[in-house]
Amino acid sequence: MTPSVALSGWGRFPTCWTRLAAPRGPTDVKAELSPGGVIARGGGRAYGDSAIGSSRTLDMGRMNRMLAFDYETGTLVAEAGVRLSEIIDVFLPRGFFPFVTPGTKFVSLGGAIAADVHGKNHHKDGSFGAFVEWIDVMGADGEVTRAGPRDNGALFEWTLGGMGLTGIILRAAIRLRPVETAWIKQQTLVAPDLDAALDAFERADEATYSVAWIDCLASGKELGRSLILLGEHASAEDLPPEQRAHPFRTAPRRKRTVPFDAPRFTLNRHTVRAFNAAYWRNGSKREGEALVDWDSYFYPLDAILGWNRIYGRRGFVQFQCVLPLDRARDGLERLLLETSQAGQGSFLAVLKRLGPERGGLSFPMSGYTLALDFPVNRRALALIERLESIAIEHGGRFYLAKDALLGARSLHEADPRAGLFRQMRSERGMNGVFGSRQSDRLLL
Amino acid sequence: MSETGKQRVLILGGRSDIGLAIARRFAADGHPITLAARNAQTLEDDKADIALRNAVEVSVEELDVLDTEAMAAFVAKGAAPPGIVVSVIGVMGDQHENQRVAEQAALVMRTNYEAPALALGLYAELMEAAGEGVLVGVSSVAGDRGRGSNYVYGSAKAGFTAYLSGLRNRLSGKGVHVVTVKPGFVATRMTDGMDLPQRLVAQPEEVAEAIWHAVEKRRDVVYVKPVWRWIMGIIGMLPERVFKKTSL
Ligand SMILES: Cc1cc2nc3c(=O)[nH]c(=O)nc-3n(C[C@H](O)[C@H](O)[C@H](O)COP(=O)(O)OP(=O)(O)OC[C@H]3O[C@@H](n4cnc5c(N)ncnc54)[C@H](O)[C@@H]3O)c2cc1C
Ligand SMILES: NC(=O)c1ccc[n+]([C@@H]2O[C@H](COP(=O)([O-])OP(=O)(O)OC[C@H]3O[C@@H](n4cnc5c(N)ncnc54)[C@H](OP(=O)(O)O)[C@@H]3O)[C@@H](O)[C@H]2O)c1
C-alpha cells in the first residue's frame, strides 16, 4: 500500500496530500498508473505544485542509472531520475558539461525535460530540449514510446515543457558539451538603470552565458539597476600555469545548511532593501573579469543547502514571466515600479534575455524574463496578482516550473497554447491518468 | 586486482538494494565488482551504471545459492578467489506462513543460514590458502534473540551469526578477516510498505558505508545505526521470564 504524505515544491507552498511511491523500474511505474491523477517527481526543485500528483506521485529518484556514454558525440543515455549534479560529478572530470543547466544542479533529467529548462545561454543555444536526442515516455496505457525531434515529434514537443502531463519520462539521451576546463571566465558589467541593462544584454548577444541580478527595490533614476554577468568556458590557456595540469580540479566549496525556518521578522522590507543595496555595492566593485569555478558560477545558491528555509515556515513563491522583445522594456519598467513601490522584495531578482521559442508548452520566447521571489503573505500575493496583469497586458507568459498561484483564466489568456495542450491531452487519453495539483488548478 | 590496485568485490545477492549500494560504494573506491544473482540478465542496467560512473570493470554472474552443487562449482571456478566476498542473501518470509508451512520455513532457514554459510565457508577455504581475503556476512539483529513475531527468520540469522563468529575465530591470524553486519531496519524492497519507526531505519547507502568502513578498518561486528547495539543489548538482558511475556 502506497503511503500518503504531505508534499510541497521548493517554495514549500502549497503543501498537499498525495500517495507517494518510489518505483524501481518501468514495471513498478506501470503498476502505479490509475485514473485519478498520477504525476512524476524528480528533484522537487519546481517551486509550486507541479510535482504533486492529484492522487499519486511517483518519486523517480530510484530510477537514476546512467546507461551508456558515447565519447565521440558526447551523448549520454540515462534514466530520468539522474540529477544534473551526478552527471557533472561523473563527466566534468572527463571533459563534458551539460549544454543547458538551470540555476540549481539538483534537478533531475526528467524534470529538466518536463519543464524544458533554460540556462544563461538560452539566447545562444536554446533550451534543454535542443540537446535531447530522444525520450522514452510511458503513456496512460502503460506503453512506452520513444520520441524525438524526428520520430513521434508531436509527443516529443508536447512533453518538453509539458510538466509531466504527457506521461512518465523513463529515460532519455542527451548531448553534453565538451569543455577543456572546469572554469568560467566571468565578466561583470554594471548597469545603473534598466535601459543600460537592456543595452548591455543586446550588446552581449555573442556571449555564451549572460544573466543579470537586478535590484528590484531600487527606484527613481536607479530603477532596474543591475549587475550583468557574462561567461565563457575557459580554455586550458586561460588558466594560470600552475592549474593547467589539472584543468578540472577545483577546491570543493564549503557547504552551509540553513538549519531551521527563519523567524518571520528576518525578512522584511528593510532587511531585503539593505541586502539588495549591499549586494549591488559589492558587485559593482567587482566590475571586470574573473576566473570562477563551475559550481560558484552556475549554482551560487546550491552552496547553501536548504536555503528555501530563509523565507520562513509559510514558504515562498516565485513570479516568473517572459515578455516579448518589442514590449519588454515598457513591461519590465511597469513590473519593477510596481515591485519597488510595494516594497515586497525579493533577495533574488533575475533578469535574462531569452532566444526564440520552440513548440509545445515550452516557456521561453524571444524577449526578457524576470524572476522574483516573495514570502507567502497577503501583500505579496496581492502584488503578484498585479504583476500578472501587467505581464498579460504586455503579451507575456508565465513559467509553470515556478508557478504556485496562477489562475486558470490568467494562464489561458496569456498562453493560447494551454488550450491546445488541454485538447491534445484529452484526445490522447492522457488527462484521465496524468494530473498534478497544478494541472487541476490551471485546467491543463 | 585491477589497474587501481583494488581487489575485486563479489556480491552474493547482487540485486538487493543493500547489495547494489555496497557495489556502488566499493566501485566509487575503485574496486572491480562482480554481482552474483538469480536472473542475472536483469542486472545489465545496474552493471552499465556502476561501470560508467566509476570507470571500473563490472561483471554479472548467474547464481542460485540454494542449488548447493552449482554454488560449489561457482566458488571453485576462476584462478583466485575475489579479495572481498559479501553475502547479502536473505529472505524474510511471513512468520505466520512460516509457522504453518514447513516448506516455507525451510526456505527461510536455508536462505538465511545454510546457503550463505556454505558459500562463505567455501570462500574461506580458498582465502585461507591464499593467506588473505575479507568475508562479509549480512546477518541481522533479529538473530540476537528469538522473538515471537519472527523467530523463523531470526533463528536462521542467529545460526549465520554464530557461523561467522566461528569462522572469524578460526581464521584469526591467518590473514582472512570476517565481518558480521547487523543492519537493523533498512529501507529496501524487503521492508517496502512496512510501518517502521523512521528514526531506526537506515538507508541502503548507510549500510554500504558502514560495510566499506568495517572492511577498511577490519572491524568484526557492525551495527549500522549505533542505537541498535543498545536496543539489542537491553532486549538481550531481559530475563526470559519477563521476555516471554513481551510482544516485540
Ligand atoms: C534555485 C533554483 C534555480 C532555478 N533556476 C532555473 C533556471 O535558471 N532556469 C529554469 O528553467 N528553471 C530554473 N529552476 C526551476 C527548475 O529547473 C525546474 O523546476 C525543474 O523542472 C526542476 O526539476 P526537478 O527534477 O526538480 O523536477 P520536479 O520539481 O520534481 O518536477 C518539475 C516538473 O517536472 C515533471 N517531471 C519530473 N520528472 C519527470 C519524469 N521523469 N517524467 C515526466 N515528468 C517529470 C514533474 O511532473 C513536474 O511537472 C530553478 C529552481 C531552483 C530551485
Ligand atoms: N531490509 C532490512 O530491514 C534488513 C534488516 C536486517 C537485515 N537485512 C538483511 O540484508 C540482506 C539484504 O536484504 P534487502 O533488505 O536488501 O532485501 P532483498 O532485496 O530481499 O535482498 C535479499 C537478496 O537475497 C537474494 N536471494 C534470496 N534467495 C536467493 C538465492 N537462492 N540465490 C541467490 N540470491 C538469493 C535475493 O535475490 P532476488 O533479487 O533474486 O530475489 C535478494 O537480492 C538480507 O540478508 C536481509 O536479511 C535486511
Name B14's Cβ contacts closer than 8 Å, sequence gap at least 6. Answer: B20, B23, B34, B35, B36, B37, B40, B43, B46, B60, B88
Smallest CA–CA distance, residue B211 to chain A, in Å, is 21
ipTM entry:
0.92
Which atom, in ligand 2's list, is nearest to the CA of B185? 3
Beta bridge partners of B116: none
Distance CA A89, CA A96 (A): 10
Which cell numbers in the block locate residue B159? Answer: 545460526
Q: What is the pLDDT of residue A67?
A: 98
Give A175-204 pLDDT, tens digit per residue: 999 999 999 999 999 999 999 999 999 999
Q: What is the pLDDT of residue B195?
A: 85
Residues of A in contact with B52 (CB under 8 A): 66-69, 90
pLDDT exceeds cutoff 80 at A422: yes
R_g (Cα) of chain B, nearest Å: 18
Interface A-B: count of C-beta contacts within 8 A: 23
Q: Percent of chain B beyond pLDDT 70?
A: 98
User: Measured in Å, how far apart are chain A's first and last C-alpha atoms?
Assistant: 29
Which cell numbers in the block locate residue A234? Answer: 575557459
Of A164, A135, A156, A127, give the one whose Cα is nearest residue A50.
A164
With cut-offs at 50, 70 and 90, classify the pLDDT of residue A263.
Answer: low
Q: What is the pLDDT of residue A294?
A: 96
Q: What is the pLDDT of residue A2?
A: 76
Q: What is the pLDDT of residue B2?
A: 55
A109-113, A169-173, A274-278, A339-343: least confident range: A274-278
Instruction: Give me the residue label for grid cell 509559510.
Output: A314
Q: Percent of chain A beyond pLDDT 70?
A: 97
pLDDT exceeds cutoff 70 at B174: yes
Distance CA B219, CA B46 (A): 29
Cis-peptide into B226, omega within 30 deg:
no
Name the more confident of A341 and B179.
Answer: B179
With cut-offs at 50, 70 and 90, classify the pLDDT of residue A313.
Answer: confident
Stretch (H or E) spanning B39: none
With cut-offs at 50, 70 and 90, classify the pLDDT of residue B78.
Answer: confident
Task: Return the residue whose CA atom lies nearest to atom 47 of ligand 2.
Answer: B90
Of B91, B187, B173, B85, give the one whose Cα is nearest residue B136.
B85
Of B38, B44, B170, give the one whose Cα is nearest residue B111.
B38
A6-10, A103-107, A419-423, B4-8: least confident range: B4-8
pLDDT exceeds cutoff 60 at B1: no
With cut-offs at 50, 70 and 90, classify the pLDDT of residue A300.
Answer: confident
B144: helix, strand or coil: coil
Give B5-42 pLDDT, tens digit per residue: 899 999 999 999 999 999 999 999 999 999 999 999 99
Which cell numbers in the block locate residue A94? Answer: 572527463
From B110, B188, B221, give the residue whose CB has the most ligand 2 atoms within 8 Å, as the site to mutate. Answer: B188
Give A374-387 pLDDT, tens digit per residue: 989 999 999 999 99
Give A44-91 pLDDT, tens digit per residue: 999 999 999 999 999 999 999 999 999 999 999 999 999 999 999 999
B49: helix, strand or coil: helix
Residues of B in contact with A1 (CB under 8 A): 193
Q: Which residues of B belong to the active site?
A: 153
Three-state SS for chain A is CCCEEEEECCCCCCEEEEEEECCCCHHHHHHHCCCCCEEEECCCCCCCCCCCECCEEEEHHHCCCEEEEECCCCEEEEECCCEHHHHHHHHHHHCEEECCCCCCCCCEHHHHHHCCCCCCCHHHHCCHHHHEEEEEEECCCCCEEEECCCCCHHHHHHHCCCCCCCCEEEEEEEEEEECCCCEEEEEEEEECCHHHHHHHHHHCCCCCEEEEEECCCCCHHHCCCEEEEEEEECCHHHCCHHHCCCCCCCCCCCCEECCCCCCHHHCCHHHHHHHHHHHHHHHHHCCEEEEEEHHHHHCHHHHEECHHHHHCCCCEEEEEEEEEHHHHHHHHHHHHHHHHHHCCCCCCEEEEEECCCCCCCCCCCCEEEEEEEEECCHHHHHHHHHHHHHHHHCCCEECCCCCCCCCHHHHHHHCCHHHHHHHHHHHCCCCCCECEHHHHHHCC
Disruptive mutation site among A2, A4, A66 for chain B (greatest number of B CBs within 10 Å) = A66
pLDDT exceeds cutoff 90 at A274: no
Give B116-128 pLDDT, tens digit per residue: 999 999 999 999 9
Q: Which residue of B has its CA nearest to A71?
A: B52
∠ CA(A10), CA(A13), CA(A15), 5° rounding? 100
Residues of B in contact with A66 (CB under 8 A): 48-49, 52-53
Q: Mean pLDDT, to the nearest integer, of B187-201?
A: 88
Q: What is the pLDDT of residue A418?
A: 98
Yes or no: say if A318 and A373 are a contact pair by the CB < 8 Å rule.
Answer: yes
Query: Could you give the angle at which helices B17-28 and B44-54 cross, rounded to 10 degrees?
Result: 20
A249-253, B43-47, B67-71, B107-111: least confident range: A249-253
Query: Could you give the angle at which helices B17-28 and B204-217 cross, rounded to 10 degrees?
Result: 50
B178: helix, strand or coil: strand
Name A13's Cβ contacts closer than 8 Å, sequence gap at least 6. Answer: A48, A314, A315, A316, A317, A376, A404
Distance CA A100, CA A130 (A): 9
Yes or no: say if B181 and B224 are a contact pair by the CB < 8 Å rule.
Answer: yes
Q: pTM (2 decimals)?
A: 0.95
Yes or no: say if A375 and A381 are a contact pair by the CB < 8 Å rule.
Answer: no
With cut-offs at 50, 70 and 90, classify the pLDDT of residue A267.
Answer: low
Ligand nearest B206 Cα, by number? 2
Instruction: Give me ligand 1 centre to Cα A114, in Å.
Output: 7
How does the average pLDDT of chain B come out, rounded?
Answer: 95
Instruction: Give me ligand 1 centre to Cα A195, in Å.
Output: 31
